[in-house]
Amino acid sequence: MAQDKTPEYNKGTNADNGMNAELVVNELAQAMIKHDQPFKEELSWLEYDLDTSKLDFIMEDGDVRNFGIPVDPALAKYLQNAFQVLMVLVDPDSKNVKEGDYYPLIIHRA
């Protein structure tokens, strides 16, 4: 059976630490990312590229963590109006919230 190459929208995995991340955006342009592992470096802000429809995580040291989260076109119209993202760390087993905080979101074109 041929493998489907269709991207799974709004989800990404960081191979460095096995972190899974999932983006949720509502009609009010309120964005949240649930992730199941802490970042190794401190997160400073997020960047959303309108041309590629991908989300990047920018660390305090300037390093970019590209989770390759392809943003669903249905959500992209809401995400482009957001100015911050609630980052929520959840326990990978119980899925209970451990902590959360808001980070700035920069919108740009490549």
- Residue 22's beta-bridge partner residues? 11, 34
- Residue 104's beta-bridge partner residues? 84
What is the number of domains present in the chain?
A: 1
Residue 19 lies in a domain: no
Residue 15 lies in a domain: no
Q: How do residues 4-56 score in pLDDT, each as one tens digit?
A: 444 567 888 776 678 889 999 999 999 999 999 998 888 999 999 999 898 98
Which amino acid, 108? H
Q: How do residues 73-93 score in pLDDT, each as one tens digit?
A: 888 999 999 999 999 999 989
Tell me how far apart the alpha carbons of residues 70 and 62 are, in angstroms, rounded to a whole number: 22
Tell me how far apart the alpha carbons of residues 44 and 66 are, in angstroms, rounded to a whole number: 14
* Cα atoms in the 13 Å half-sphere on the side-chain side of 87: 19
Give the domain range for residue 51. 29-108
